[in-house]
Amino acid sequence: MNTAVIYVETKTIFNEIEKLRNEMTQTLIDLIRIPAIGPESGGEGELQKAEKLVQICKAIGFDKIESCDAPDERVPSKKRPNIIAFMNGETDKERIWIVTHMDIVPPGEDSLWTVAKPFNPTVKDGKVYGRGSEDNTQPMVSSIFALKAFKNLGIEPQRTVALCFVADEESGSAYGIQYLIKQGLFKKDDLVIVPDGGNSDGTFIEIAEKSSIWLRINTIGKQAHASMPDTGLNAHRVGMEFALALDKMLHKKYARKEVLFDPPVSTFEPTKKDRNVDAINIVPGEDTTYLDGRILPCYDVDELLGKISALASEFEKKTGAKIRIEVVNKNIATEPTSESAKIVLMLKKAITKTGRKNVKIGGIGGGTCAAFFREAGIPAVVWATMDEMAHQPNEYAKIDNMVNDAKVFAYLAEQS
């Protein structure tokens, strides 16, 4: 295909995507209305959203739609669905995969949602508010309608494009992308983009991620009446003291900076806390808190966990309490995707084609599906235009971002 023809088709496809703006917005609203919360957070999984996506893709006319379900006894359907929708291109040698996730985090405190209720989305000032709007439904809709534009115009992409809607991303991906990789679905020369992170002007391409650990810290003391604390051992107090000592130790020992990453340091954040006793006048005999750690690749995660265990042992000897450290999730950083990898160069060109300049390449602290592709030896990038509203109350997706990112996906499919 010569350059002049590519230019004409690019302009035509971009114009068609603009015409689809209202339909894209309505599809985003329809998908937000379907909660897809994993069983770890008391949800029933992604089945309803998966069924809706199949319905949408069938109506568009994708060439093939497949389901690859991971068994999971914890949800009513006993399965975690993963949907793949293919649109055939002129060549199948290097397929483009756009991987988005169906599952979302819980809404959190309802009173903090002041613009819209989490699953009753509202459109205001060019934004769609609702849980899961930006994380990850916005890019999901972008990827679908990028290909719908091709169908509407009767144009075939240069490459076969596969949209992959996965389960379980928010809780580790064991039933999602990890399961699919084990099934041998992907090839070494596939071109993989995971639109699950980015910046507000769409100029940041992520090629590297930190290691990550999620810890459950369970402190066991002895319950007692609060008026007679000496007869018990306050697990809440010991747990707080241990958490503060752990926080200080981690930030002191793991303070190196690497400019590739944003933020450039390892992060360690106390997060969730389980309920302990039901009355104010009871000294807790058990207390549980959690830690989220994002660790620069230069550090050995197992060595770090050893230091945490050693500190716990010190506190046990000092206080008489029992401190149990459970690793809820652990991911070791893989080799970054090369800045000269084909998908990086293609994406950079596509971003520039939509009028954005000064594209930056770097690493993040968050964890995405891209890490599992890199571990399997498949270069992958993370990119989207986002205000980073993920997991926050009043989460929103900008309609302009959704439409403009669809143009980038379309140009990727069109590149020879």
Q: Is 196 a catalytic residue?
A: no
User: Of residues 103, 170, 190, 286, which has the active-site annotation?
Assistant: 103
How distant is the alpha carbon of residue 117 from its chain centre?
22
Element (H, E) at 68: none
Q: Is 302 a catalytic residue?
A: no
**8 A C-beta contact, residue 146 and residue 402:** no
**How many Cα atoms sit within 13 Å of 366 on the Cβ side?**
19
For residue 101, which of 131, 57, 132, 65 has the smallest C-alpha distance?
132
Bridging pattern class, strands 91-101 and 191-194? parallel
Longest dimension (CA), the chain: 85
* CA gap 383, 95 in Å, rounded: 18
3-state secondary structure of 118: coil
User: Of residues 169, 196, 209, 286, which has the active-site annotation?
Assistant: 169
How distant is the alpha carbon of residue 297 from its chain centre?
19
**How many Cα atoms sit within 13 Å of 10 on the Cβ side?**
19
Catalytic residues: 103, 169
